[in-house]
Amino acid sequence: MRIKKIFNNNIILAEDDKMSELILLGKGIAFKKLTGSIVDEDKIDKTFVFQSPEMSSKFISLLKEVPLNHVELVEKIIVQAQKELNVKFHDSIYIGLTDHISYTISRYKSGMLMKNALLWEIRKYYPKEYAAAKNALTLIKYYEKIYLSEDEIGFIALHFINAQQDGEDIQLTMMITEIVNDVLNIVKYHYQIDLDEDTLNYSRFITHIRYFARRLISNEILASEDDFLYEQVKDKIPQAKACADKVKKYFINKFNVVISQEEMIYFMLHINRVAEREKEK
C-alpha cells in the first residue's frame, strides 16, 4: 500500500495493490513521508473505504475544504461516543459530522447561532445519544476554546442516532422523532395521563412507533387485513381502540396514509399496555 496524497502528518490518501483508494488516519502516518512512499501500516488508526466512489469523493473534497484539525477533532468525538454508546457507527458519520461541526465552529465565530426545534424531543427520546453529544461539546470546548449552546447538543445527537441506522438522512431522523412525539401526545391527551418513561412498556411503545415510522416513510406498511383478530382486540380494549383511531386519523391527515387493520392491532395492544397500566397505579 502506497501513499497517493498527503493531507497532513496524520491523514493520507493511499492506494492498495488492487488500485483501490483508502483514506487513512493515524498519528504521524505521513511524518517524513513522500507521495509514493510505502504506508507504515502499524500507524493506521482509522481506515475509510467507502462503498461508492461518490462517498469517497465527497470525503476527499471535504478534507480539502475544512481545517484538518476539525477532522481530527471529529475523529476524537466519534471514538469517544462509540465507547460511551457501545456501538459501531456507520462510516458516513465522518462526512456528515465533520461537515456539520466545522460549519458550526465557523458560524459560532461569526456570531450566527441556530435554534434546534426538536431539542426537547431529542433529549427525551434519545437520552444516551444526548449525553454522548453533551460530552462532545466538552471536547470542542477544550480544543476550540468555544462554548456551544445546548441546541448544538441536539444536532450532534442526531448524527449519533443516524449513524446507528446505517447512516440514514438527518431529515428522516427528525421526521421520525416528530412522529414519536405526536403519537405519544395523542395517547397522553386521550387518557389524560402522564406516561412513565422508565417502564419497559413505554420503551416498547417508543420502539414500535420508530419502526412503524420508518416503514411508513419507506412505504413498507403492513397491508394485510385480519378481520377476526381485529374485531376481537377492539372489542376487548375499546378505550385503546378509540385512542388508536385518533392515531390513525393523525397519519391520514399528515401523511395521507391509512393504517391497515394489522397495524391497528399492534397500536391498540401497545397503547393498552402503556396507558391502561398507568391508570391502574
Q: Which grid coordinates belong to 73? A: 477533532
Q: Which grid coordinates belong to 13? A: 490518501
Listed in sequence order, the residues at least 6 apart from 89 whose beta carbon sits closer than 8 Å to its beta carbon are 78, 81, 82, 160, 163, 164
Please name every residue paired with 15 in a beta bridge, in sequence order, or none if there are none: 2, 21
Cβ 97 vs Cβ 75: under 8 Å:
no
Q: Which grid coordinates belong to 199? A: 417502564
CA–CA gap between residue 200 and residue 217 (Å, rounded): 26
User: What does each of the 281 residues of the chain score in pLDDT, given as a tens digit?
Assistant: 899 888 888 888 888 888 878 888 888 999 889 999 999 989 988 787 776 677 777 787 788 788 888 988 998 999 999 999 999 888 788 888 998 999 999 888 888 878 887 888 889 888 999 999 999 999 999 999 999 999 999 999 999 988 887 656 778 888 888 999 999 999 999 999 998 887 878 888 988 898 889 888 878 776 666 678 888 888 999 999 999 999 999 999 999 999 888 889 889 999 998 987 655 55
pLDDT tens column, 16-37? 888 878 888 888 999 889 999 9
All structural domains of the chain, each given as residue ranges with its CATH number in brackets, are 2-49 (2.30.24.10), 68-167 (1.10.1790.10), 171-279 (1.10.1790.10)
CA–CA gap between residue 118 and residue 211 (Å, rounded): 19
Kindly tell me the sign of the dihedral angle through the C-alpha atoms of 224, 225, 228, 232.
positive
Q: Assign 3-class secondary structure to the chain.
A: CEEEEEEECCEEEEECCCCCEEEEECCCCCCCCCCCCECCHHHCCEEECCCCHHHHHHHHHHHHHCCHHHHHHHHHHHHHHHHHHCCCCCCCHHHHHHHHHHHHHHHHHCCCCCCCCCHHHHHHHCHHHHHHHHHHHHHHHHHHCCCCCHHHHHHHHHHHHHHCCCCCCHHHHHHHHHHHHHHHHHHHHHHCCCCCCCCHHHHHHHHHHHHHHHHHHCCCCCCCCCHHHHHHHHHHCHHHHHHHHHHHHHHHHHHCCCCCHHHHHHHHHHHHHHHHHHHCC
Closest CA to 155 of 180, 125, 130: 130
pLDDT at 281: 54
Region for 23 from its dihedrals, namely left if φ exceeds 0, alpha if ψ lies in -120 to 50, beta otherwise: beta
Listed in sequence order, the residues at least 6 apart from 279 whose beta carbon sits closer than 8 Å to its beta carbon are 191, 193
pTM reported for the whole predicted model: 0.67
pLDDT tens column, 166-208? 656 778 888 888 999 999 999 999 999 998 887 878 888 988 8
CA–CA gap between residue 189 and residue 256 (Å, rounded): 23
